[in-house]
Structure formats: structure tokens, C-alpha cells
Amino acid sequence: MSALPFDPWFTDPRDPALFEALQEGLPLVSRPYAAMGERVGYTEAEVINRLREWRLSGLIKRLGVIVRHRRLGYRANAMVVWDVPDTEVSQVAGRICQYSFVTLCYRRPRRGSEWPYNLFCMIHGQDRERVESQIRQLIEGCGMTAWPTATLFSTRCFKQRGARYVPSIETVSLESIEPA
Amino acid sequence: MAIHHQLLNEFQRDFPLSPSPYADIAHQLGVTEDEVLIALRELVKNQSISRIGAIVPPNSIGVSLLAAMAVPAEQLDEIAEWVSSLPEVNHNYEREHRFNLWFVVNASHDGHMGDVLGHIEQRTGLTIMRLPLLEEFHIDLGFPLEFIGAT
């Protein structure tokens, strides 16, 4: 038997279809796991078991309601970037993550003089002034005043949805385009 | 409205993995399963939530990449719309910078990723700045919403 793609997460031939169904979202019916199972050939108990295993093994980082923050008034979405010396980046990131208004923090490669930044964080807020003051708080609180930085607010969201990783099954998503 | 707010805030993680999860939530909130389902359908319909689903760490299934392009202003709408139409693209934002179009590409493997990026560059005539994830410091566990001035 040939190996399934995305081993070790997928160990059963039905797993890719179950994952795809999960990325589309749980059906809003009384027995959602049974409905998903019916589509992919698993029983309800097997679906629950697979999802539990994926959660324990870390494939599912969280399972729950995925909110569209822009629709809920969170329109001040800032990507803040810094050029932090490589030797200090982990330590600084640890301090950044202490701030509850920071939702994501990543290290990425620099790209020459036009993009010298290697540390990224995301802040989602309701109004721009408050987010700007949170950024100042972050820079001072984490001792980052000396490093080059840029703040990129998003002005329009053209698309926001869960990733679809299985290229053989492509469905049009109702949520694929969110108006500005 | 209270049940809608609770549904938005209290179930962003640890969604019940039981045969009747909506009935479990209803029990917790002291309402009926139908009330929960109706409220969730309303929240999906008015686009307050995109789905009940999973957040998956980047690069666990396939590969993903943050991409940025400097698009001339007069071409931005057209190029953004076309980029959004690609099934491999799941997030696509305009941002205030010379690099004004930021999107995330998901592909099944590196070769597929290369094909998608090459296709975008060829079609638009623009260079993509490739910013793969090197290290993730913060875990997305959802975030508490404040309902000030929100519906």
C-alpha cells in the first residue's frame, strides 16, 4: 500500500476527506459528526475519535467557533515588524507574547534592504488609535526602541477563510470573499 | 443577544467532541439545542463567524507561505480579485506599505507551491516577496471580544 500524503497525520484513506470536511466547518445540525462521517465513510464514533486524536497530536491547535473579527468591529488590524538581531529575537518574542493584545508572533526571513524585518506580530483592535498606543506600549515595554520597525495596517480584506490543503477537492466557499 | 455573545466568546476552543455538541452547549447556556443552532446559523449568515472548525498549525498539512507584492495602485483591485480567486490562497489583504498586497498561499508540497507562485508572477508580471515561517512564537487560542459598539 502506498503511503498517504501528509503522513503521519493521515493514517486512513478516509482521513484527507474528513480533514477537508473539517476545514469547511462543522455542519449546523444536531449530529454534526455523524453528518461528516456519512460524507466520508466514517461512523460518528470514528469521526469523534479521529478529531480527538488530531487534537491530542497537535494537528488541531484549537477546535471551535472561528470569528470574523472585522465583521465584529475589529477593523484595526496591524502587522508590526522589526529588524531584531538574530541572537536576541527569541528572547524579545517571548516578551512580546506576554501582551494579551498580540494575537500572533512569528520569525520570518529578511529580504534585503527593501524588507529588513525578521520579527512579525499581529494586533487586532477596534480602533486604530488604541492599537497605535498598544504598539508604543509594546515597543517601550519590550525594550525595542532601538530597532527599525514598520506598522502595516490592513485597509481591505479581499479574502479570509480556512486553508484548504487538499488540492483534489476544491469547493467554492461561501465565505471566500468578504466585502471591505 | 446574550446567547450570541456567549457563543462567540466562550466556544472558540475546546468545542465539545460529543455526539450532540450543540445540545451540550445549550445545556451549558440554559437554552434549547434549537436556540443554539438558530443563533449559530444567524451568526454564520451575518458573517460574524466563518465556521465552527479547526485552527491548524502552519506547515503541518502541506506547506504555507506569506507572500507580498508591490502592486501599482491602478492595478490593485483587479490583481487582488484574481489572487483571491486562486484556491490555494486563503488570506488576502491590502496593507499600507509599498508592499501593499499580502496573501497566504497553501500548497500540498514545495513543487506545488513553486507552481502557484510562478503562475502568479507570470500572470501579474510582478515579483513575489516570499516570507516563509521560520519560527512561531505565539499560539492562536482565539481572543476575547469586547462588545462595545458591535452588533
The answer to whether the CB of B101 falls within 8 A of the CB of A155 is: no
Identify all chain A residues contacting B92, using CB atoms and an 8 Å cutoff: 157-160
Tens of pLDDT, residue by residue over B74-83, are 999 999 999 9
What is the CATH topology of the domain spanning A76-153?
Alpha-Beta Plaits (3.30.70)
Distance CA A118, CA B93 (A): 20
Of residues A162 and A78, more confidence is placed in A78
Tens of pLDDT, residue by residue over A47-98, are 999 999 999 998 998 999 998 877 777 888 999 999 999 999 999 999 998 8
Residue ranges of chain B with pLDDT lower than 50? Answer: 148-151
Q: Where are the domains of chain A?
A: 15-57, 76-153
What is the CATH topology of the domain spanning B63-131?
Alpha-Beta Plaits (3.30.70)
Note the pTM of the prediction, 2 decimals.
Answer: 0.78
Distance CA B69, CA A65 (A): 31
Q: State the residue for C-alpha cell 477593523.
A: A75
Distance CA B42, CA B44 (A): 5
Give the pLDDT band (50/70/90) at residue A165: low
- Give the pLDDT score at B148: 47
Closest CA to B134 of A65, A86, A175: A86
pLDDT surpasses 80 at A161: no
Chain A residues 66-125 with a CB less than 8 Å from chain B: 66-69, 71-74, 77, 79, 90, 93-94, 96-97, 100, 102-109, 111, 114-115, 121, 124
The answer to whether the CB of B145 falls within 8 A of the CB of A67 is: yes
- Give the pLDDT score at B1: 57
DSSP three-state, residue A2: coil
- The ipTM assigned to this model is 0.78
Q: Where are the domains of chain B?
A: 2-45, 63-131
